[in-house]
Structure 1
Amino acid sequence: MSDSPTAALLGIFEHYQPQRLLSVSSAPIPAAVAFCAQHADCTHFETNEVPLPAGYANQRYDLAVVADQLERLDKHQGMELLAGMRNLLVSRMAVLVDMQRTPAWEQNDFFGLAFQRQGHFKRDGQTLTLFTYDLASYKTVPDWLNSKYWANPELFGKYWW
């Protein structure tokens, strides 16, 4: 994908062009700040509080980024944060995590939450992994879900029982 997490996030932002961007991080995320500075129609919401403050938890966002949070939370709190955001607040999300600093987390935990691994970045002794979630493409349409496999293909899409 790219050689740095900032470049990877900027690529994601450019692809989706979010107008409402939520950052959940202990420090400002440079890619989010840069993107919103260059795009006047982008409103950037930032917080470092987990659980999310009521003002942030009651809104919808086009995209959310979580960085430097899962390393500070226990696994249960992290799962609640990611699943809650995915289910209630956003349709697209990116998570940057240092898997070495979060021994309780495994890649399969992210896969179980429907995230896909998008990148792996090593720099200054730190290794970050980028996981993304997009509601529109997280699951491929099964091959059997078409009229070819129906008992009466001519009735496909005609009747709903």
Structure 2
Amino acid sequence: MADFDFIPLLLQLLAEEKKVTSAITIDITPQSHWDGQWQYCNLTEVLSLPFTQRYDLALVNLVKADHIQGQNQISINNALVRLRDLFAKKIIVFAHPQLEKQLRALGFNQLLQNMPENNPVQIWQFNILTYKHVPDWFNSKFWANPENWDKFRW
């Protein structure tokens, strides 16, 4: 899983959506042909990384076997929550299928499930812009309408 053949294609698709000017990679070495400013760190460094900027994109590799073990579950949760809430507008996670429940619980959506026998990989995303759709009733048409205060009684 050292070389991701599909990452340049994924970056090109994301760039069509919105220009990626700054990004952070977790356990994926950035390549020189990736456009923009890239920062690299590992999963444990995310927990102590000082907040200096908000990145357009975060790429996270959770395919390694040591990420699946029980004692690392809490650090994975903490790192992903820190990335989601503080560091990145959009997060793409390459994960082992055993992490599916954990990623769903954190609000991630599954993009792709690729299951070769030797290396199972799922691709997940978190995008704050598409995380929760605003319901139709949540607007001023249905509540706090000052022009209707004298007209209707409950």
Paired with 2:119 and 2:104, the residues of 1 have a C-alpha distance of 22
Cα shift at 1:146:
1.9
Paired with 1:135 and 1:77, the residues of 2 have a C-alpha distance of 22
Higher relative CO (CA 8 A, sep ≥ 6), structure 1 or 2? 1
Give the counterpart of 1:90 among 67, 88, 91.
88
Aligned to 2:118: 125
SS at match of 1:136: coil
Inter-CA distance 72–57: structure 2 relative to 1 (3 Å threshold): farther
The CA deviation string for residues 9-62 of structure 1, in whole angstroms up to 9 with x for no partner, is 54234423211110001x42xxx52xx6253xx1111122513285x5322211
TM-score of the superposed pair, with normalisation by structure 2: 0.73
For the 8 Å contact 1:5–1:130, the answer to whether it is kept is: no
Q: How many residues align?
A: 138
Inter-CA distance 37–63: structure 2 relative to 1 (3 Å threshold): same
- Structure 2 residue ranges without an equivalent (≥5): 149-154
Inter-CA distance 38–152: structure 2 relative to 1 (3 Å threshold): closer
Aligned to 2:33: 37
Aligned Cα RMSD in Å?
2.7
TM-score of the superposed pair, with normalisation by structure 1: 0.71
Paired with 1:126 and 1:97, the residues of 2 have a C-alpha distance of 11
Give the counterpart of 2:13 among 11, 14, 23.
11
Give the counterpart of 1:108 among 81, 101, 118.
101
